[in-house]
Amino acid sequence: MSNQALIAQKHRYLFEDKLDEANEIFIDDPRRAIAITVEARDIGEEFDDLWAVAIGLSNLGYFSYEIGDYRASYLNYLKALDALKASDTVDLSNQIVILNELSRIQSGDKVWKRSLGIV
């Protein structure tokens, strides 16, 4: 394995560790979990890992939704879908999850739609 590949793998592990940490603390400290997820996404951006960026954005979409920030959730899911499509990794499973979440937000009640400016 080349040195560059080892560095990329090390950063992927760091990214995954950050996401694991964020998921573990979300219930107790959602704001901190979001901050950690932003750090994870930034690791993906720093190393041009569009798959990691997409997964980080998707997690941000989920966390935003859970705290009631539907607009941020929707925008993060849209960005996640774009990043996933642009990545060199075919990940249909996560594409379907993201599309389902976008659909759920779009078809939500008036409170969600009002927050998105749809109603």
Residue-by-residue DSSP string for 77-116:
HHHHHHHHHHSSS--HHHHHHHHHHHHHHHTS-HHHHHHH
Task: Tell me the Ramachandran region of residue 89: left when phi exceeds 0, alpha when psi lies from -120 to 50, beta otherwise.
Answer: beta
The pLDDT of residue 98 is above 70: yes
**Average pLDDT of the residues in 85-110:** 89
Q: Name the fold adopted by 3-116.
A: 1.25.40
Confidence at 6, pLDDT banded by 50, 70, 90: confident
**Mean pLDDT, the chain, integer:** 90
Distance CA 24, CA 116 (A): 29
Structure tokens at 119: 């109603």
pLDDT digits (tens, 9 = 90+) for 39-97: 999 999 999 999 999 999 999 999 999 999 999 999 999 999 999 999 988 899 999 99
The pLDDT, as a whole number, for residue 107 is: 81
Confidence at 106, pLDDT banded by 50, 70, 90: confident
What's the chain's Rg over C-alpha atoms? 15
- The residue type found at 54 is A
Structure tokens at 36: 């950690």
- The residue type found at 72 is A
The pLDDT, as a whole number, for residue 17 is: 97
* Domain range annotation of the chain: 3-116
